[in-house]
Amino acid sequence: MLTRLAELKGKYIALADQVNDPEIIADQKKWRALMKEYSDMTPLMEKYEQYRKAEEVLQETTELLGEKQDEEFRALLKEELAQSKEDIERLKQEITLLLLPKDPNDSKNVIMEIRGGAGGEEAALFAADLFRMYTRYAERQKWKVELMNVNESDLGGMKEISFLIQGEGAYSRLKFESGVHRVQRIPSTESGGRIHTSTVTVAVLPEAEEVDVQIDMNDVRVDVFRASGNGGQCVNTTDSAVRMTHIPTGIVVSCQNEKSQLKNKEQALKVLYARVYERERQAHDAAISADRKAQVGTGDRSERIRTYNFPQGRVTDHRIGLTLHKIDSILDGDLDEIMDSLITTARMEQLKEHNMA
């Protein structure tokens, strides 16, 4: 581990020189890529520096204990020696986690798409509940939420909705939310008091930039049309809605939430970049690990990941067998316990995979 850290330190120093090179700074695309790599390495290098200092303190303290000292000073040295050993073990564990292959998307913003599945109007109503849940969670994290597109149902639910969440580490916290969310409750429209089961699909896409994926706009067909559904007087009386079709992949994106056609184009392009990037990323992951599925799931939007059972007041994440009896607070955005458990499980799987556990 120490040999690898020393090699990485050399690379880190070289990167520091590169990001301050005027010629590289002039090439903004290259500079941003190098700056991101430098920033990603910084936490590891800071821990490595702390580890080296702790090792130096340990060595110096051990040498002093080998010399003749009065009892009071010797007692202080022993305390410092014990503290140094404790610091070294703690830093080793922290460095081990930082050395694990990092998801390059963890620091990105996310585009979330929620769609009602089986259950009709009840599914659309629960889609609206999930949108509120993620919005409340974003508020707790001091993240910004930007609505991109929404298709409302007759009873105030959401047939589909897409929105951007901007904030440090948004993708690292939300990436395990992709999949099918199942709800079991008595719908407000049910007169017989029967429990219905409905499903909602959630997709979490890292916001992609031009540096992540290339899209030739000659391959994109742009259509404009009149927005439908609820909206202001300009939203559904002018051709402000935009539909983009990426011809090579067949991916279609529609945005109609803004009154301005230009703004809808900007929003649609963001989603298009994210979807094309996600398709390329999944194809790459499948090619290198076709026979491996992490315990926390594949991220496939067809995989049932969680059940929200209202009569019993419980939420169960099926991937890790976690059940919490606090459905009201979870739907109000109290998601940290679930997300921390998912992240911990993913890290443990990584440690096993790399023979570090």
What are the pLDDT tens digits along the chain (357 aa)?
A: 788 898 999 999 999 999 999 999 999 989 998 998 898 899 999 999 999 999 999 999 999 988 888 888 989 999 999 999 999 999 988 888 888 877 888 888 999 999 998 888 899 999 999 999 999 999 999 999 999 888 888 888 899 999 999 998 899 999 999 999 999 998 876 767 788 899 999 999 998 876 677 888 888 999 888 776 554 444 455 678 899 999 999 999 988 888 888 888 888 888 898 989 888 887 766 655 544 444 455 455 567 899 999 999 999 999 999 999 999 999 999 999 999 999 989 888 887 776 654
Tokens, residue 207: 């916001």
Within 10 Å of residue 120's Cβ, how many Cβ atoms?
A: 16
The rounded radius of gyration (Å) of the Cα atoms in the chain is: 26
Backbone dihedral angles phi then psi of residue 247, each to the nearest 5 degrees:
-60, -40
- Are 203 and 311 in the same domain? yes
Report the alpha-carbon distance of residue 313 to residue 333 in Å, rounded. Answer: 15
Q: Which of 285, 312, 331 is the last residue of a domain?
A: 285
Give me the domain span that covers residue 85.
Answer: 2-99
Residue the block writes with tokens 């929404």:
150
Half-sphere exposure of 307 (CA within 13 A, CB side): 17
Residue 187 pLDDT: 82
Query: Which residues have a Cβ under 8 Å from the Cβ of 60 and sit 6 or more positions away?
Result: none
Residue at 309 is within a domain: yes
Contact 343, 180 (CB under 8 A): no
Beta-sheet pairing, 241-246 with 251-255 = antiparallel
Residue the block writes with tokens 């020393």:
6
- Are 124 and 46 in the same domain? no
- Are 116 and 258 in the same domain? no
